Amino acid sequence: MARRQSTAAPVDYTEKIIDIDVTSEMEGSFLEYAYSVIYSRALPDARDGLKPVQRRILYMMTDMGLRPDRGHVKSARVVGEVMGKLHPHGDAAIYDAMVRMAQDFSLRLPLIDGHGNFGSLDDGPAAPRYTEARLAAAALTMTDHLDEDVVDFVPNYDNQLMQPEVLPAAFPNLLVNGATGIAVGMATNMAPHNLGEVIAAARHLIANPDAGLDDLMRFIPGPDLPSGGKIVGLEGVRDAYATGRGSFKTRATVGIEQLSARRTGLVVTELPYTVGPEKIIEKIKDAVTSKKLQGISDIVDLTDRRHGLRLVIELKNGFNPNAVLAQLYRYTPMEDSFGINNVTLVDGQPRTLGLVELLQVYIKHRLSVVRRRTAYRLGRKMDRLHLVEGLLIAIVDIDEVIQIIRSSDESAQARERLMSIYDLTELQANYILELRLRQLTKYSRIELEKEQDELRREIALLEELLGSEEKLRALLSDELAEVAAKFATPRRTVLLESESSAPLKGTVMPAVTAPGGKTTPIPLEIADDPCWVILSTSGQLARTADQEPFGEGGQRVKHDVFSSVLRSTARAEVGAVTSAGRMLRLQVMDMPALAPTAGIPNLAGGVPAQEFMTLLPGESLVGLAPLDAVIALGSAQGVVKRVAPEYPLNRDEWEIISLKPKDKVVGLAAAGDQDLLVFITAQAQLLRFPASTVRPQGRTAGGMAGIKLGSGDSVIHFGAVGAEDAAAVVVTIAAASGALPGTSAGSVKVTDFAEYPTKGRATAGVRAHRFLKDEDILLLAWAGHGPAKAASASGVSRALPTEHGRRDGSGVSLSHSVDSIGPSPAQG
């Protein structure tokens, strides 16, 4: 082993030892490291919602020209450019950040358009040499106008290049896409939200700077997770919006399907955020092996690209699906918690912000962007006007200008002479010297004068905009609205106030979690108590305890206008009739149970009827019907049919009327021989005739002629009224044929049903509404037990006239939008 030779110290060497306190050195070094991690790596900026590596990726891809209308490039090339020019860290960290921005299950609005295997919730992505990427369309709005001095630029790590300190961010990316990050001593975990809702809240805050949390939560009721699912319990969401910290439960979307004649299965179509199907399968198998889960015979993953997520959990015979689901929620990640911790950088300092503060920081940043962009454009316009004015001076005396230039020995002399003779600035003189001869024609002068006028007009507008904070805010609001119109998508996540309102698709409510976190077990058998099945005009479905009649007391609430009210029992079945002439069997026990009330049942605790059934494209739900009584159906082409209750016992859906092409069911009602059937058409014709004239038919029959229609006419309402019902009324709403349902144009009339004479079946009936000027069609109509109630599309109750008009009279002007009419809740 070779010996190490020591070298002698230099002659002028002086030894100097400095004593340093280890504690102080460790504290200082650790603080520098912590600050570096917090500011330069782990936490997003509240303005654009991006971490430094994400910002550098988007900026470099913009600089490379990787726009959505151009081809993809290898991800490795992007990673290399970012690492070499802006982000001197490992390529794995850059690629991981790039992959996450391309995953539609991680971000609500992906910023990168990936091509290839960018991973899944259970598997990682392919190597960067195999995948390709380019910017998504939404990412262009994040980097728009960077060349107009809208943000500050800072040097890169070696001071050779410049990079933006923050991106302009044309939408609130932090709220829309959320963020996760672990720094030193702190972490951030922010949930994604719906773009349309976030922008609506931001615009409201722009118009009303003093708006509070309750005002903004009308626009943003809760997170909207990329994976869909359900959020159960909104108290934690409100806490997070108020303080920046909170938590909520997310649940999988589960339905019940009959897998075979004797096998029932739970079908999972949406999972909690960040939970993958393989993790669910593994946890279920472990719980079944350890005897924690009972009643499961098999689990199959049928997920594919065409149908999306589909986990089929097959149940053993004799097990209540609700009880099994309650166990799944307890022992597997099918129910998961999401903890919100809104830690973000504001002016370089980590802060925990609530919803209002997050939007305020974004709006302040965006106002700065708009103001700086306007000032930049104003400067460019003024510079151009300055040159145009100098050029116009030269063109007026162009021969003399040319002579001055030709007689000068050099360009500097020509410039000085031009400046002194024509009182030009150096910029104007240089611009004249650089002119081409073809720009000296008379047409150039005309064009220059037009350009001068246009520049002065634009400068005046820009100066006016810069001088008005109100106009800057209005411009910002309009730009946000444009982004929302282009990129907003419907909400994916269902928000439920409590667990009792979280039903299965086609089955009973899931287990209820009591205060303290204890789960109340679901009984295997539900008592067959009397109840009411209610469908609101806004599509909410629920059952409520037996109460007769429904009271009118208390303040009216949303969804309290009903389209169908049926008396039933908790373990019975009812039928749902669609516009395509199908009837679907619904279990009453599957519907959420509302608490008894002395007033109007609050169907805000119900759930959309679509949660219980699958409708075909173009098909809609018409109403509910009993399965043990004769019901009457009316179609848009005037066909009437009474259906005998002879339905198949082994099927969940069947056809109850054979419709002609382009025909559809518009109404139904239980109708005995003593009842009267009613048709109302778009051209204001009403026909009432005895139900006894329509004999009951089998479910495959096509019905018979109900009302004779004029050319271009169609039926808009069909129903049944008791022959002895003295309180029955007819409601008609007229408007112009070009008007849309729900607009305020037109008139409404309420008439006693007794004023209309009984006619024979297959006749044209009588006139029901006299049209006023510009009116030529009925938008909505309804006949039944009064008083009638009206509602907007969102389920909000609308008032109807209390005075009854003549049968052949006209209506009174509408003061609000009406989208549907239904019976009074007191009809119960």
Which amino acid, residue 43? L
Q: 564 near 576, Cβ under 8 Å?
A: no
Model confidence at 512: pLDDT above 50: no
**Beta-carbon neighbour count of residue 264 at 10 Å?**
19
Write down the pLDDT at residue 100. 94
Q: Read off the tokens for 770.
A: 């006299």
Model confidence at 550: pLDDT above 70: no
Q: 314 near 300, Cβ under 8 Å?
A: yes
Model confidence at 827: pLDDT above 50: no
Q: 559 near 586, Cβ under 8 Å?
A: no
Distance in angstroms (rounded) separating the CA atoms of residues 182 and 37: 9
What is the dihedral sign for C-alpha 828, 500, 606, 240?
Answer: positive
pLDDT category of residue 442 using cuts at 50, 70 and 90:
low
Which range among 291-295, 517-521, 756-760 shows the weakest confidence by mean pLDDT? 517-521
Q: 284 near 313, Cβ under 8 Å?
A: yes
Q: Read off the tokens for 416.
A: 């000085």
Residues forming a β-bridge with 565: 534
Token look-up 């199959």 returns 300
Q: Read off the tokens for 64.
A: 């490379």
Write down the pLDDT at residue 548. 54
* Burial class, 448, CB count within 10 angstroms (exposed 0-12 / middle 13-18 / buried 19+): middle
Residues 6+ apart with CB under 8 A from 468: none
Distance in angstroms (rounded) separating the CA atoms of residues 47 and 152: 13
Q: 653 near 581, Cβ under 8 Å?
A: no
**Beta-carbon neighbour count of residue 29 at 10 Å?**
10
Task: Give Cα 122 to chain centroid, integer Å.
Answer: 26
Residues 6+ apart with CB under 8 A from 242: 213, 354, 355
pLDDT category of residue 516 using cuts at 50, 70 and 90:
very low
Residues 6+ apart with CB under 8 A from 24: none
Q: Read off the pLDDT of residues 165-183 as tens digits, 9 standing for 90 and up.
A: 999 999 999 999 999 888 7
Q: Which helix (H) or strand (E) holds 98?
A: helix 91-100
* Burial class, 617, CB count within 10 angstroms (exposed 0-12 / middle 13-18 / buried 19+): exposed
Distance in angstroms (rounded) separating the CA atoms of residues 505 and 205: 37
> HSE of 658 in the Cβ direction (CA atoms, 13 Å)?
8
Model confidence at 506: pLDDT above 60: no
Distance in angstroms (rounded) separating the CA atoms of residues 683 and 668: 21
Pairing of strands 696-697, 639-643: parallel
Residues of the chain with pLDDT > 90: what percent?
48
Rounded mean pLDDT, 374-396: 90
Write down the pLDDT at residue 519. 45
Percent helix / strand / coil, the chain, rounded to 5: 30, 25, 45
Given strand 797-798, what is the order of strands in its sheet? 797-798, 789-791, 820-822
Between 442-466 and 355-396, two packed helices, what is the crossing angle to 10 degrees? 150
Model confidence at 693: pLDDT above 70: yes
Instruction: For each of the domains in the chain, give its residue range(s) and CATH number, in order of start.
Output: 50-168 (3.90.199.10), 253-333+493-524 (3.30.1360.40), 526-827 (2.120.10.90)
Residues 6+ apart with CB under 8 A from 399: none
CA dihedral angle for residue 711, residue 687, residue 575, residue 616, rounded to 10 degrees: 10
**Beta-carbon neighbour count of residue 573 at 10 Å?**
17
Distance in angstroms (rounded) separating the CA atoms of residues 204 and 356: 11
Distance in angstroms (rounded) separating the CA atoms of residues 183 and 192: 20
pLDDT category of residue 304 using cuts at 50, 70 and 90:
confident
Model confidence at 766: pLDDT above 60: yes
Q: Which helix (H) or strand (E) holds 784?
A: strand 777-785
Q: Which of 13, 39, 59, 130 is catalytic?
A: 130
Query: What Cα–Cα distance (Å) separates residue 124 from each residue in 96, 99, 181, 449?
Result: 9, 9, 19, 62
> HSE of 668 in the Cβ direction (CA atoms, 13 Å)?
31
Write down the pLDDT at residue 500. 52
130 as an active site residue: the answer is yes
Q: What is the pTM of this model?
A: 0.62
Distance in angstroms (rounded) separating the CA atoms of residues 640 and 206: 54
Q: 28 near 137, Cβ under 8 Å?
A: no
Q: Which residue has the higher pLDDT, 67 or 798?
A: 67
Residue 156 DSSP label = -
Phi, psi of 535 (to 5 degrees): -120, 120
Query: What Cα–Cα distance (Å) separates residue 237 from each residue in 240, 248, 250, 338, 513?
Result: 5, 6, 11, 10, 17
Instruction: Please choose, from the candidates 264, 291, 289, 267, the residue with its C-alpha nearest in 3D space to the C-alpha of residue 277.
Output: 267
* Burial class, 201, CB count within 10 angstroms (exposed 0-12 / middle 13-18 / buried 19+): buried
Distance in angstroms (rounded) separating the CA atoms of residues 740 and 424: 62
Q: What is the 3-state secondary structure (H, E, C) of 426-471?
A: HHHHHHHHCCCHHHHCHHHHHHHHHHHHHHHHHHHHHHHHHCCHHH
Q: Read off the pLDDT of residues 698-740 as tens digits, 9 standing for 90 and up.
A: 988 989 999 999 998 999 999 999 888 888 889 888 888 776 6
Model confidence at 643: pLDDT above 60: yes
Query: What Cα–Cα distance (Å) separates residue 216 from each residue in 203, 212, 365, 489, 613?
Result: 10, 7, 19, 19, 33
Q: Read off the pLDDT of residues 36-62 as tens digits, 9 standing for 90 and up.
A: 666 667 789 999 999 999 999 999 999
Distance in angstroms (rounded) separating the CA atoms of residues 84 and 256: 54
Which range among 198-202, 530-534, 687-691 shows the weakest confidence by mean pLDDT? 530-534
Q: Read off the pLDDT of residues 248-278 as tens digits, 9 standing for 90 and up.
A: 999 999 988 878 655 788 999 999 999 999 9
Distance in angstroms (rounded) separating the CA atoms of residues 21 and 38: 26
Q: 632 near 625, Cβ under 8 Å?
A: no
* Burial class, 779, CB count within 10 angstroms (exposed 0-12 / middle 13-18 / buried 19+): buried
Beta strands in 178-275 (DSSP E): 179-182, 187-190, 230-232, 245-251, 253-258, 264-270
Rounded mean pLDDT, 488-509: 67
Q: Read off the pLDDT of residues 1-17 as tens digits, 9 standing for 90 and up.
A: 455 666 776 777 777 88
Write down the pLDDT at residue 786. 74
Beta strands in 55-142 (DSSP E): 73-74, 112-115, 132-135
